[in-house]
């Protein structure tokens, strides 16, 4: 199957910012998900960059039903399968390896893969994809780069991630080919370390208010 763009857009159009988080325990993931839901950002991406990630995804799916818990930093087919088994509602990859795209074709969780160059975009279009991650957004050329792609790839919509912050998020969200952004600023490491979930809920509410 090609990309289930409808299922993915149903998630990504709910909120202007998808929090991209790395958690140190399942419990931290649950507390964080509750804070983000409270702030109005139910869709969250728990990255497989920590050993606790899969347990956290499972725990969030079981204990925070209002959250729409996705998995991020998926680099291999095996990770895709493990993330799907843990209950991930969507799966994000920084790129688009053959293995991950094949795993998505065999699985059921919608995949948001990364693509940046015209050739990468054309490869994904051939595979039936229309919603793509753009990573690392700022380093690749940011807003001017996405503006330049728009007329040539009119059917493609992006979730720029990497270097997006309160400083530039408005510029990204103003682009017609941007569906939402990904970012870690709503769950800062310091706030997580201090277990300051009230601060995270406030940051989430500010991010939620970026789009009506
Ligand atoms: O692991 C991934 O799949 C990523 O997306 C890498 C980063 O976690 C995001 O790019 C967030 O980056 P910042 O908002 O700049 O901190």
Mean pLDDT value across residues 17-26: 98
Decide if 66 is catalytic. Answer: no
d(CA 166, CA 206): 9
Please state whether 23 falls in left (phi above 0), alpha (psi between -120 and 50) or beta. beta
Alpha helices in the chain (DSSP H): 5-12, 26-39, 53-63, 77-85, 98-106, 118-126, 137-140, 142-149, 169-173, 189-193, 197-208
For ligand 1, whether the C-beta of 114 sits within 6 Å is no
Region 64-73: what's the mean pLDDT?
A: 98
Which one-letter DSSP state was computed for residue 136? T
CA nearest ligand 1 atom 9, residue: 162
Query: Which residue is associated with the tokens 């649950």?
Result: 30
User: What percentage of the chain exceeds 70 in pLDDT?
Assistant: 100
SS3 201: helix
Residue 150 and residue 177 in contact, taking contact as beta carbons nearer than 8 Å? yes
Is the peptide bond prior to 205 cis by the omega test (within 30 degrees of 0)?
Answer: no
pLDDT attached to residue 17: 98
Query: What's the pLDDT tens digit per position in 123-163?
Result: 999 999 999 999 999 999 999 999 999 999 999 999 999 99
Which residue carries 């992006």 as its tokens? Answer: 158
Tell me the CA–centroid distance for residue 106 and ligand 1, in Å.
26
For helices 77-85 and 98-106, the axis angle rounded to 10 degrees is 30
Look up 133 and say whether it is catalytic.
yes
CATH superfamily label, 3-204: Aldolase class I (3.20.20.70)
Is the predicted ipTM greater than 0.90, yes or no?
yes
pTM over 0.95: yes
């Amino acid at each position: 199957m090609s990309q289930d763009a409808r299922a993915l857009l149903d998630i990504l159009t709910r909120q202007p910012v998808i929090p991209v988080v790395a958690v140190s325990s399942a419990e931290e993931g649950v507390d964080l998900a509750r804070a983000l839901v409270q702030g109005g950002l139910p869709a969250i991406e728990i990255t497989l960059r920590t050993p606790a990630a899969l347990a956290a995804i499972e725990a969030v799916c079981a204990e925070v039903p209002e959250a729409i818990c996705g998995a991020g930093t998926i680099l291999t087919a095996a990770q895709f399968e493990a993330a799907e088994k843990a209950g991930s509602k969507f799966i994000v990859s920084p790129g688009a390896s053959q293995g991950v795209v094949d795993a998505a074709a065999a699985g059921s969780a919608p995949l948001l893969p990364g693509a940046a160059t015209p050739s990468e975009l054309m490869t994904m279009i051939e595979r039936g994809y229309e919603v793509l991650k753009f990573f690392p957004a700022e380093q690749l050329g940011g807003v001017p780069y996405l503006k330049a792609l728009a007329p040539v790839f009119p059917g493609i919509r992006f979730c720029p991630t990497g270097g997006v912050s309160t400083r530039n998020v408005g510029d990204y969200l103003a682009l017609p080919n941007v569906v939402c952004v990904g970012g870690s600023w709503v769950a800062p490491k310091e706030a997580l370390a201090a277990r300051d979930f009230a601060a995270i809920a406030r940051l989430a509410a500010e991010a939620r208010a970026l789009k009506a």
